Amino acid sequence: MNIRLELLDKPQWRALPETDEPLPFGQLRTNHMFLMNYRDGAWTDARIVPYGEIALMPGATCLHYGQTIFEGAKAFKHDDGGIYLFRYEKNCERLNHSARNLCMPEVPAADQMEATLRLLDIERDWCPNMPESSLYVRPFMFATQDSLGVKPSAGYIYCIMLSPAGPYYPGGFSNAVRLLITTRYHRAVSGGTGTAKCGGNYAASLQAQEYAKKLGCGQVLYLDAANRTIEEVGTMNHYHVESDGTFVIPAFNDSILKSVTSRSVLELAEMGGLPLEIKARQETIFLDKFIADVKAGKIVEAGGFGTAAVISPVGAYLLEDGTEIAIGDGRVGPHSRALYEYYANMQIGRRPAPAGWLRKVEKYG
């Protein structure tokens, strides 16, 4: 792919703040972004330009009918000074899965990878080397055709932006969240867009999220609308831990996002031979059985898996009838902590990672 460079002589933002304070999550930007346009059935004009506004016609399809998709991944600075992208091929594949789900054009995975590596090379000084920090990578695509008919757009923009990010929990991995189990709201239904990372899924989750907040809960655990099986959290897959230390993740169906973190945990368990012994499996989990097993002490820990926090432990669940169900002693459990420590250290190169999971950002030219 031919990438045109239009780089700033003088950066609009200085480099990373020199501070020992953790960086905020999702707030900071770097100086440049990658852009590419889809016109007449082909991707054209790949370029890296200063981070800034993007002009859109008011009739652009994305603004009216939500034809927008995105991804989230992380690059880490290792002790050798190099920057490494974690399992980004999985994000490239999933972006194309989301594109197919929303009748958008795919971006060849090799082009997504090349564009991201090139942007990361240019912005390498923005990758923090503080503990639990990363350069968050946010690729996204949106529909640009100025047309009010409800149909797939003829034009699109694909963009990659970067955000230097600190730990998701600035206070450390210590606060277990309280989750609301709701039957009032549903994130996605079979046959819909649940397996896609599309804007509409997140817009649709805001109302439930606000409802949870009012009830004193950090997030929502969604159930399958028909079967009352556990689906996922608004921005994470769900897991629980059985008393023998096995992590159990709801079986993927056509309304759950296939988390790269969940899949990595399952693959680590299958591979074995690591310094940390991980046991994990997937199965369909019925809410009533889940609650009975928590009460019987068969389920000792629970939480969420996702790129942003890696693991978010759950301390308690609230049901809509006001019943509160604590998990274990309501605090972060040893299995969740051990997995978190292994996974986070693997990403920064301090624990062995399976071959190919970390890709070095080479210096270009």
Ligand X SMILES: Cc1ncc(COP(=O)(O)O)c(C=O)c1O
Residues at the interface with ligand X (CB under 6 A): 72, 232, 235-237, 257, 259-261, 305-307
Residues sharing a CB contact under 8 Å with residue 34, sequence separation 6 or more, in sequence order:
3, 46, 47, 48, 115, 116, 118, 119, 158, 159, 160
Nearer Cβ to ligand X, position 16 or 236?
236
Query: Quick one: residue 5, left, alpha or beta (phi over 0 = left, psi -120 to 50 = alpha)?
Result: beta
Task: Give me the least distance between CB of 261 and ligand X, in Å please.
Answer: 3
Task: Give me the least distance between CB of 157 and ligand X, in Å please.
Answer: 21
Question: How far apart (Å, rounded) are the C-alpha atoms in residues 56 and 53?
Answer: 9
Nearer Cβ to ligand X, position 38 or 76?
76
Task: Give me the least distance between CB of 86 and ligand X, in Å please.
Answer: 10
Cα 344 → chain centroid: 15
| Closest to 232 in 3D by CA, of 171, 177, 188 | 188
Q: Is 118 helix (H, G, I), strand (E, B) or coil?
A: helix
Nearer Cβ to ligand X, position 224 or 232?
232
DSSP for 210-249, please give it. HHHHHTT-SEEEEE-TTT-BEEEETTEEEEEEETTSEEEE
Task: Give me the least distance between CB of 229 and ligand X, in Å please.
Answer: 16
Euclidean distance between the first and the last CA atom of the chain, given in angstroms as a whole number: 15
Question: How far apart (Å, rounded) are the C-alpha atoms in residues 46 and 54?
Answer: 15
Torsion sign across C-alpha atoms 340, 344, 349, 354: positive
Cβ atoms of residues 29 and 13 within 8 Å: yes
Nearer Cβ to ligand X, position 159 or 220?
220
Task: Give me the least distance between CB of 251 and ligand X, in Å please.
Answer: 14
Nearer Cβ to ligand X, position 305 or 357?
305
Nearer Cβ to ligand X, position 153 or 163?
163
Task: Give me the least distance between CB of 186 and ligand X, in Å please.
Answer: 13
Q: List helix spans (H) across the chain.
A: 61-65, 88-101, 109-122, 199-203, 206-214, 260-271, 287-295, 334-347
Task: Give me the least distance between CB of 200 and ligand X, in Å please.
Answer: 12
Give Rg (Cα) of the chain.
Answer: 21
Nearer Cβ to ligand X, position 162 or 257?
257
Task: Give me the least distance between CB of 194 and ligand X, in Å please.
Answer: 8
Cα 49 → chain centroid: 25
Nearer Cβ to ligand X, position 16 or 220?
220
Pairing of strands 246-250, 279-283: parallel
Question: How far apart (Å, rounded) are the C-alpha atoms in residues 160 and 157?
Answer: 10
Question: How far apart (Å, rounded) are the C-alpha atoms in residues 111 and 363?
Answer: 17
Nearer Cβ to ligand X, position 83 or 236?
236
Nearer Cβ to ligand X, position 209 or 246?
209
Task: Give me the least distance between CB of 94 and ligand X, in Å please.
Answer: 7
Task: Give me the least distance between CB of 120 and ligand X, in Å please.
Answer: 18
Q: Count the helices and strands in the chain (H runs, E runs).
A: 8, 18
